[in-house]
Every structure is written in structure tokens, then in C-alpha cells.
Structure 1
């Protein structure tokens, strides 16, 4: 079965992302088209990129990198939940993406973003990064606005229109992940 990682891309204390990721995971649990797993970056504490060689060489030296590589390689696609910080993504998410290369390749990715303007600028930056990592970003996106999808900017209460948007995102990520399977290097997946 297709495996989709739901990556919670912030580790900030009191983060709104936990509520958003739980909602994403809850909607995913109602589906039977893939196996969905929540991946919290707090559970994968990666120091600022400390590998001696570029990730594209695939010669990881550190145990934290090897553990992260095994986790990411185990998925066929991803949904990244990200806030928008200063018109971009959190540094911890960029760092986690930069640690690996071949483990991301030829897989699909979708974005659930949130912020004052729906996190759309963070999602746009992620699209640029995804292209360089050879991740196929799907068009469908879920953008959650702090003023309308959160009560008092802190209690997540998504509008009724958001769940169908998220299901369309899942549809695209699963379809693209399945379609791209033949392009993936089996050695990277089996090394997980």
C-alpha cells in the first residue's frame, strides 16, 4: 500500500501546527487509499546541517541523519504542514529537507499551510525547494488563515470548506505517488 508521511514542519513551543497536523491526520484516518503516518520534526532533532558531504552524494556519516533517511525513504509521498514565518518556512523544516536528497526523489508532495495570509508564501517557497529535490508538488493546496480558521488566532477551527480541499490534496498526492513509483530507485527504498 502507498505510504504517505504527514510532516509537521515546526518545533516551536505552543505551535498551532500540532492542531493542524492532528486534523490532517484525522481526515487521513478516514481514507483507505494509503497508509498515513504523522512525522513530527520534534521526534527527529537534527542539528544544523552537520554532514561533511553534500546530501546529493548519499554518504551520510551521522546516526541522526541515517535515522532521518530511513524514515523519509519509507514513504511514497508527503503532505507537509507548515506555518509561514517571515514570508517563508521554518528554519527547522528547511534544515530537515536539506539533510537528504535521494530519499525525497520521484515522490509527490502536497502542502497544508497556515498563517496570517494562509501561509501561501511558505508554500511557494516549498514548491521551489521541492523542484530541486525532485519532488513532484501537486497543485491542490490547503491554506488556513489565522483570522478565519483559528479562534483567537490559537484554537484551530477550520471552515467547513477545508476538509474537501484536504481530501482533494490527498487524492492528488496518492495518485502522483503511485504514478511515480516506477521512477524511484529501489535501492533507496529498500535501504530504509
Structure 2
């Protein structure tokens, strides 16, 4: 079974990323092909980068970094749930990505973005060079959630549109296939 880590990239109080992340988790678990490691960066609580050595050296001096390294290393792929903040992505997600280097290398990732008019796409554009530098292979399907249409949340639970559910299904298909390819498990 493929181990997918879902990372909720916002730590802002009252954030909508957590219910969106829980929706992604529910769909991924129901799919049946994946084991899920759900990471709420607000709960994880990584401090601002405090390692003295470059992440490529993997010479970690703090337990929180070692623990984060173990979790990311165990993942076969990722789904990043990210808001758009000022035409970029969240600083908490940037921090979590920057803590490590080798652990991300040649693993696939999909993105679920959310925001206003652009539905988070400008934040994803800012995220792309960072993912490329870390060697993360992007899945082509991208779930883009505009928070301008309603109702998006009922009693704190995200209410997806049919289009978003369909695209998330495609993203999961791509993650499963990319994981096979990148791990050399493809037999055709």
C-alpha cells in the first residue's frame, strides 16, 4: 500500500485549511490504495528553521527535526493543502519543506489549493520552484478551491463541489501511478 502524507500548510487560527485537509484525508482513506499520515503543521509545531547544518547533510541536532525526517522519509508521496497568502503560499509550509532535503527527493506530490478569486493558484505558482529544487515530482491534477462560492462549509465541515471531487480522484490516480514509476514498481 502507498503511504501518502497529507500536509495542511496553514497554521492560522480559524483556518479553513484544516477542514479541507480532513476532506482530502477522508477521500484518500476511502480510496483504499493508500495509508495516510495526516500532518497538521499547526499541531506539528516546527519552530522556525533552527538547525545549524544544511539539510542535505542530514546532521540534525534537534529531536523535532529527526522526528520530521522520519515521517517524511516514510512517505511515498504527498498532498499539500495550501492557502494563498499575498500571491504566495504559507510560511509554515515553506518552513516545513526547508527543514529537510534528501527526504523529499524524487517523491510525487499533488496540491490542493484554496483562496479567493484565484483559488490559490498564485500561491501554487510560487511553490513550484521550491518543489522542483527539492526534487519533488508534481502530479498534474490540481484541486483549486475558490472560497467565494457558497456554501463551502457547514458546521465546520468542507462541502466540495462535484468538480473538486472529480479532480481529487484524478490527483490520487496520478499519485498512485507516479509512486509506482518513481519506485520502479511499474510492470507493463
- What does residue 149 of structure 2 align with? 148
CA RMSD, Structure 1 to Structure 2 (Å): 1.9
- What does residue 71 of structure 2 align with? 71
5 Å-filtered alignment, 1:130-169, equals 130-148=131-149, 150-151=151-152, 156-169=158-171
Distance in 1, Cα, partners of 2:126 & 2:150: 22
Q: How far is the alpha carbon of 1:125 from its aligned partner?
A: 1.8
Distance in 2, Cα, partners of 1:81 & 1:150: 20
- What does residue 186 of structure 1 align with? none
Unaligned runs of 5+ in 1: 184-192
- Bigger Cα displacement from structure 2, 34-43 vs 98-107: 34-43
Deviant stretches of 4+, over 6 Å: none
Unaligned runs of 5+ in 2: none
- What does residue 96 of structure 1 align with? 96
For the 8 Å contact 2:152–2:160, the answer to whether it is kept is no
Distance in 2, Cα, partners of 1:174 & 1:124: 23
For the 8 Å contact 2:112–2:142, the answer to whether it is kept is yes
1:110-167 per-residue CA deviation (whole Å, 9 max, x = no partner) reads 0000001110011122221110000101111000001026548x87322121101001
5 Å-filtered alignment, 1:1-192, equals 1-116=1-116, 117-148=118-149, 150-151=151-152, 156-182=158-184
TM-score by length of 1: 0.90
Distance in 1, Cα, partners of 2:174 & 2:150: 23
TM-score by length of 2: 0.91
Distance in 1, Cα, partners of 2:150 & 2:169: 17
For the 8 Å contact 1:106–1:136, the answer to whether it is kept is yes
Distance in 1, Cα, partners of 2:37 & 2:69: 16
For the 8 Å contact 1:5–1:39, the answer to whether it is kept is yes
* Alignment coverage as a number of residue pairs: 183
